[in-house]
Copies of this chain bind each other. A is one copy, B any other.
Amino acid sequence: MKATMKDVAKLAGVGVGTVSRVINGVRVKDSTLKKVNQSIQELGYEPDIYARGMKTNRSNTIALIVPTIWHPFFSEFGFHVEKELKALGYKIFLCNSTGDPAVEDEYIQMIKQNKVDGIIGITYTDIDKSVSSDIPFVSIDRHFTSKVTIVAADSKQGGEIAFNELNKRGCQHFAFVGTHQDKESETKNRRIYFEKSARRAGKKISILDFEEPIIDFENQVQKFFIDNPTIDGLFGINDFLAMDVMKELEKLGKRIPEDIQVIGFDGVKLSEEREYLMTTIRQPLETMAKVAVEQIMNAINGDPIDYKTIIPVTFIEGSTTKN
């Protein structure tokens, strides 16, 4: 049978309150501290966090909601979030929403029933409607109408950098390839400010912005580049899409970076020790995770929070641009 606080108290010859104090680091007399600790050792006592939760109404658990942990962008983010939270003594429920609102609702219900202290989520549905306003929620990238805290990489800056770096490398005809949904998200600024920068510089620019879900990707991409044969600088809304486009470019006999230079977005790596896949704008996922955790902690503790944190991105030079 597992030892309880009562057992420890009896063995140490003290009251349960004193054991509780020891467990929670409240000052007690040195001699009693010694006695209690010894009894804890002797019995192999482990506190029951559920019982504690009953009293405190806290679980020290955060739910991490991502579309799919399989994708390296989310798995890297998840890795960092878990690391930060663990250091603070928090556990993390992994939730793969698959972008399905019904699934998200199930998770929300689970969260309500399990005393989950807060949510860190990357989601593009109107999840804010189901999550009651009293549970702290930090959203990545996506804006919500209500007062949900948002943390995001600086997509505006990213779009501008992408243009500048391509421009610096001699590109004359710029292109953007992306995808979007109707939701308000920081992501959109990648296209907007890339385009703005090009126009401001008086450069030619062509846009291929898919509405999700994408249909007939191959043909549309090929047609786009056949219709615009002078394109020599491409900015993709994320690394994977940029890679998919490059594959089509290859089929068209275009060489990279000789004929077309390509910059992606995200700075995805396939694991901590691997390299970036291409020239890209890196999202500072580790910092974003840190800030997200910081904000959720502030919210949990009733401290003031920043409703919006935008974090600078960095340019990563790879093999898909010249120089």
Contact = CB atoms under 8 A, between A and B. Distances in A.
Interface of A: 46-51, 53-54, 59, 64, 68-72, 75-76, 78-79, 82-83, 86, 91-96, 106, 109-110, 112-115, 240, 268, 270-272, 274
Contacts of A79: 68-70, 96
Contacts of A47: 113
Given A71-B271, A86-B106, 14 more contacts: A49-B113, A49-B114, A50-B53, A50-B54, A50-B114, A50-B115, A68-B79, A69-B75, A70-B79, A70-B272, A72-B270, A92-B94, A240-B271, A240-B274
A270 B71 contact: yes
Copies in the complex: 2
Contacts of A268: 270
A83 B192 CA distance: 37
Closest 3 pairs (CB-CB, A-B): A75-B75, A71-B271, A70-B79
10 contacts: A46-B112, A50-B54, A64-B94, A68-B271, A69-B78, A70-B271, A72-B271, A82-B95, A83-B96, A91-B110
Given A46-B112, A75-B75, A82 B53 contact: no
Contacts of A92: 93-94
A93 B91 contact: yes
Contacts of A76: 70
A83 to B, nearest CB: 7
A106 B82 CA distance: 14
Contacts of A274: 240
Nearest to A89: B110
B82 A96 contact: yes
A69 B69 contact: yes
Nearest to A114: B49
Given A46-B112, A240-B271, A93 B93 contact: yes
Contacts of A83: 96
Interface centre among A48, A51, A64, A109 (most CB of B within 10 A): A48
Contacts of A68: 79, 271-272
A32 to B, nearest CB: 23
